[in-house]
Structure 1
């Protein structure tokens, strides 16, 4: 990964206020921090982009053990989720997120080594990422779970993981989301689900043909997954702890949202 992939000054200015300051012990004991949070974050971003092991961090970054310890601490504290929510909600208040037409889909991440929360599929064992994007293709929600369950059963759980204050007005999916019971559940929440009917559907049609025209813009979530595929630590899961993998996912989403900011 090139040096230009490091956090820019403008990006760091947005993130810095959200990182908690570590208090110095009154007794003066403990090891003082040599490397700044920005240096460590740049190291974490290198791992995210390349998919490499912590031990392989180049010398221009803090050591792999330093970056991993701080990454693990931040993951346990939910820092990356907090940053993601803060950026998304601020962008929402400034009109940069459009909830009137959202898109949902899932993607499969192969799980290497031992891993928490994974399932077996025809493609092997792995983790499923369920994602909702807004009308511009910006991420609104992500749900990380076993790869085994069918995507239609994960829609409500994904909606519950929304980063923004508001919720989608319409959610557009492919034929996998053609479900009358799901339509009814989401309607009670004020959400319209738009999905083409399955070819083998027996029940009468329920989708309005005019609304289905929106399905032509589903390429926006496909484009989002193309952006996400640039982060190798996300598309292949090397982390055993689910909170570590979710943190990498959240950081990738942060990077994508920052492009809209700056």
Structure 2
């Protein structure tokens, strides 16, 4: 693929005005020497280009800062928790504006194959890969994301996903597919004040009331979120060696989705 064919996603002035306070100003050297550091906006535009196109860093178009500068800044943001805090603050902003509906939420996982000696991956029938666990509210907006090895069963990752919520609010109902049907998980979520709604597996006795199960028909909402995420080609296949960097890319995808929701206000 030629660089000219890439379709980068850049922030509009309105978008940047919204997210600029979420990214700390780049620090200069303590001795005052050296060149001034590149501002955050062109760096973020460059990382979003990689996220959207799935291009390798070496193919970053020339209109952006040097790829080493962009990659280094991205790797500063990830361990410093910048993306975590950005999602949390944007969540608070949208919650104050009434965008979220936590009367019910939906949880599921999607698979990303892992390449180039990736660490923290799992072997499955589909090959080695990584699971992206996501929770969406009733409006298809993401409220939590967690990345893990593809090997563990999804039912064992539910608590990790809920612990990774962008805010402190928990949904009143959590709607899942049959893979999450578990009496133990049902009881654990009930202690948190969450009603779990999932179809019983075929080898289990059907014990649920049919009325709550009607909500199960709206599980397409979490599938829509994954469809939005898969528009970011960097998330379809995991090229990052370290899982923390891949999570950072996923968080940036979530950030873009929430920015677009805020734009509709």
TM-score by length of 1: 0.95
RMSD: 1.3
Paired residue for 2:13? Answer: 9
Q: Which runs of 5+ in 1 are unaligned?
A: none
**Cα-to-partner distance string for 1:96-150 (whole Å, 9 max, x where unaligned):** 1111110010111100011121100000001011111000111111111110011
Note if contact 1:140-1:162 (Cα within 8 Å) is conserved in structure 2: yes
2:26 matched to 1:28? Answer: no
The answer to whether the 8 A contact 1:89-1:165 is kept is: no
Q: Which residue of 2 aligns with 1:212?
A: 213
Is residue 112–residue 235 contact of structure 2 (8 Å, CA) maintained in 1?
yes
For residues 172-187 of structure 1, the aligned pairs below 5 Å read 172-187=175-190
User: What is residue 52 of structure 2 aligned with on the other side?
Assistant: 49
Question: In the alignment, which residue of structure 2 is the partner of 1:131?
Answer: 134
Deviating above 6 A after TM superposition, structure 1's stretches of 4 or more consecutive aligned residues are: none
Distance 1:70 1:26 in 2: 17
Residues in 1 aligned to 2:158 and 2:27: alpha-carbon distance in whole angstroms? 41
Q: Establish whether residue 80 from structure 1 lines up as the match of residue 91 from structure 2.
A: no
Q: Superposed, which structure 2 residues align to 1:52-67 within 5 Å?
A: 52-67=55-70
Moved more, 72-81 or 24-33: 24-33
Question: Compared with structure 1, are the counterparts of its residues 223 and 26 closer, same or farther at alpha carbon in structure 2 (3 Å cutoff)?
Answer: closer
How many residues are matched?
Answer: 258
Match of 2:236 in 1: 235
- How much has 1:22 moved relative to structure 2? 3.0
User: What's 1:165 paired with?
Assistant: 168
Instruction: Provide the TM-score with structure 2 as the length reference.
Output: 0.94
